[in-house]
Amino acid sequence: MSLTANGLLADLGITDARIHLNPGVDELYRHAIRLGEGVQAATGPLTVRTDKTGRSPKDRFIVEDDLTRDTVWWEGFNHPTTPAVFDGLREKMIRHAQHSELFVQQVFAGTDPEQRIAVRMVTEMAYHSLFVRNMFVRPTPEELQDFQAGWTVLNLPSFKADPAVDGVRSETFILVNFTEKMILVGGTQYAGENKKGIFGVLNFLLPGRGVMPMHCSANVGEGGDVALFFGLSGTGKTTLSADPSRKLIGDDEHGWTDTGIFNFEGGCYAKVINLNPEAEPAIYRTTRTYGTVLENVVLGEDGTPDLNDGSLTENTRSAYPITQIDNIQPGSVAGHPKNVVFLTADAFGVLPPLSRLTPEQTMYQFISGFTAKIPGTEQGVTEPSPTFSACFGAPFMPRHPGEYARLLAQKVQDSGAAVWLVNTGWTGGMYGQGKRMSIAHTRALINAALNGALDDVPFEREPFFNLEIPTTVPGVPDEVLNPRAAWADQQAYDETARKLARMFRDNFRRFEAGVDPAVTACMPDPDQQG
């Protein structure tokens, strides 16, 4: 317990809790183990199990009030709630927190001092406190001296809502209040809520200042050329940005200002299921490093992580400070991007491994935000399921997708960045027949694009999506480049491509009214011949 923490949460009405202020790694390991949250793996990381093993987007609410009524897009994942619901749950949570033990981390979201927000992360779980310490930007000792929190997150997994009286959907809730500058989280131990909650805050605030907030990873080459990698979960943002030949800026959330790119975070949150040490050495090393948090990774009898064990969840994660990666960009800020890559993991095996987008196609693909998941364990489901998530991150984007799309289009135009669509999903057939693209091929394709090796090669047009595909790429067999040619059965390809084209069209209908006709004209055409 820290005496300096006395009164730290008095403004919330928490006057009598045991508060640990800014505890360090050793201390948090001790507390997490004492509280039974987890154990130390033989390879070093603090290893924990959580009740929820992923985010709960349906249980996330934004308080509707004068600030948000006309600025938030009340569709999709942005569910409205009232100030009264917020106040009621806050009061109950504060009662729950009195006399308890709490961990407080004072951190920044944003590496750019002009754009960042100061956040007070109040957590019940010691491991959340370590997660926050790893994932956010840690203030210097000087910055801590007069730290003034702009935002507060109160995260109490053991507090469960009563949907019958509390005005929420289930025991689990994430309530965001922009006026009070506060996020309440209850009923879930999944640590990702801490980071994605604050991400949503920046995504609301920054467009008002002309700054584009983005669900993307970023890295920078030897010559200073910056690349962004947008994509939904599992498409490869973390994997592909950790390229040993380029400096990592960040793996998930960035802002684009008038001067360039900055990371929102100070750490990375990597999927580690079936991680291959040869293909992803940098991320693999983090699973063998003290200070890392491993979530829902199963340990073998000797205490070593078994990365191939998905028995708790396929969404096993490693959360580590970015400094665990060797080749990083100091300060996690850089200039304007030269290349922007949209990643999609198309389990239909239809989209080309790499194609070049026009400005209109850029907006069309950005608003569509497509990826496709492999069939789950549900009985009778054998086809991939499409996901369309606007801005490649609809659950985190409080404003209308068109607002973000216009900002991005403007930034891309001003910087002259080239935009690429990369399919890290299936090739040679849909899931079940084909196989997942090799990481080596994806990397070779991306490197060719980033290094300018595609500037002078001929491109051909694919008919259904009207995408431009390079006919030859150094280090990649030609037959991989054109998805139709990669399928054994070309008729089956055409049928699947038509089906996917129709899905794209159906999804885009609700955006048509809000975009330029030239963007709508980029819809794929299912009536084309293969």
Q: Among 158, 55, 113, which residue's Cα sits nearest to residue 331? A: 113
Contact flag: residue 237 with Mn ion (CB under 5 A): yes
Among 339, 424, 427, 496, binds ligand ATP (CB under 6 A): 424
Q: Which does 240 bind (CB under 5 to 8 A by kind): Mn ion, ligand ATP, none?
A: ligand ATP
* CB neighbours of residue 146 within 10 Å: 6
DSSP letter (8 states) at residue 487: S
Which lies closer to ligand ATP via its Cβ, residue 94 or residue 343? 343
The answer to whether residue 100 is catalytic is no
Strands (E) located in 135-253: 151-156, 173-177, 182-186, 212-214, 216-220, 226-231, 247-250
The binding site comprises: 55, 190, 196, 215, 231-239, 252, 280, 317, 442
Which residue in the set 56, 105, 233, 324 belongs to the binding site for ligand ATP (CB under 6 A)?
A: 233
Residues in binding contact with Mn ion, number by CB under 5 A: 3
365 binds, among ligand ATP, Mn ion, none (CB under 5 to 8 A by kind): none
Residue 67's binding partner, choosing from Mn ion, ligand ATP, none, with beta-carbon cut-off 5 to 8 A by kind?
A: none
* Residue 120 contacts Mn ion per CB under 5 A: no
Please list, in sequence order, all residues whose beta carbon lies within 8 angstroms of the beta carbon of residue 285, skipping any fewer than 6 positions away. 324
Q: Give binding residues for ATP as ranges.
A: 196, 215, 231-239, 280, 317, 442
Among 22, 47, 78, 238, binds Mn ion (CB under 5 A): 238
Question: Which entry of Mn ion, ligand ATP, none binds 442, CB below 5 to 8 A by partner kind?
Answer: ligand ATP
Q: In terms of CB distance, is 159 or 264 closer to Mn ion?
A: 264
User: 3-state SS string over 121-142?
Assistant: EEECCHHHHHHHHHHCECCCHH
210: which residues sit within 8 A by CB, 6+ positions away? 257, 258, 407
Active-site residue, 55 included: yes
Number of residues that bind ligand ATP (CB under 6 A): 19
* HSE-up (13 A, CA, CB side) for residue 71: 16
Q: Is 58 a catalytic residue?
A: no
- Binding status of residue 481 toward ligand ATP by CB under 6 A: no
317 assigned to active site? yes
Nearer to Mn ion, 272 or 418 (CB): 272
User: Is 160 part of the annotated catalytic residue set?
Assistant: no
Is position 238 annotated as part of the catalytic site? yes
Tell me the CA distances in angstroms from 7 to 18, 241, 352, 375, one per residue in order: 11, 42, 58, 51
Task: Record the tokens describing residue 512, joined without a space.
Answer: 């048509």
8 Å CB contact between 61 and 167? no
Which has the closest alpha carbon to 510: 392, 350, 388, 423? 388
Hey, how many other C-beta atoms are within 10 angstroms of the C-beta on 521? Answer: 11
Residues at the contact surface with ligand ATP, assessed by CB under 6 A: 231, 233-240, 252, 269-271, 273, 424, 436-437, 439, 442
**Where do contacts with Mn ion occur on this chain (CB under 5 A)?**
237-238, 252
- By annotation, the residues acting in catalysis are 55, 196, 215, 233, 237-238, 252, 317
